[in-house]
Amino acid sequence: MSCPHISGVVALLKAVHPTWSPAAIKSEIVTTASLKDEYAQSIFAEGAPHKHYGGGNVNPNKAADPGLAYGKEVTNVSPVNSVRTARGQAPAGTTVRVEPSII
Cβ burial, residue 13 (10 Å; 0-12/13-18/19+): buried
Report the mean per-residue pLDDT for the chain. 79
Predicted confidence at residue 39, as pLDDT, reads: 86
Q: Half-sphere exposure of residue 80, counting CA atoms within 13 Å on the CB side?
A: 5
Instruction: Give the 3-state secondary structure of residue 25.
Output: helix
Predicted confidence at residue 13, as pLDDT, reads: 94
- Summarize the confidence of residues 51-72 as an average pLDDT: 76
Looking at the chain, the whole-number percentage of residues with pLDDT higher than 70 is 76
pLDDT exceeds cutoff 70 at 53? no
- 91 assigned to some structural domain: no
- 46 assigned to some structural domain: yes
- 93 assigned to some structural domain: no
Predicted confidence at residue 83, as pLDDT, reads: 75
- 87 assigned to some structural domain: no
Confidence of residue 92 (pLDDT cuts 50, 70, 90): confident
Tally of structural domains, the chain: 1
Digit-coded pLDDT (tens) for 9-49 = 999 999 999 998 898 898 889 888 887 878 888 776 666 66
The answer to whether 44 touches 35, Cβ cutoff 8 Å, is: yes
Please tell me the distance from the alpha carbon of residue 15 to that of residue 20, in angstroms, as a whole number: 10
Predicted confidence at residue 73, as pLDDT, reads: 67
- 103 assigned to some structural domain: no
- 59 assigned to some structural domain: yes
Task: Determine the structural domain holding residue 10 and report its residue range.
Answer: 2-76
- For residue 43, CA distances in Å to 1, 17, 36 come to 16, 29, 5
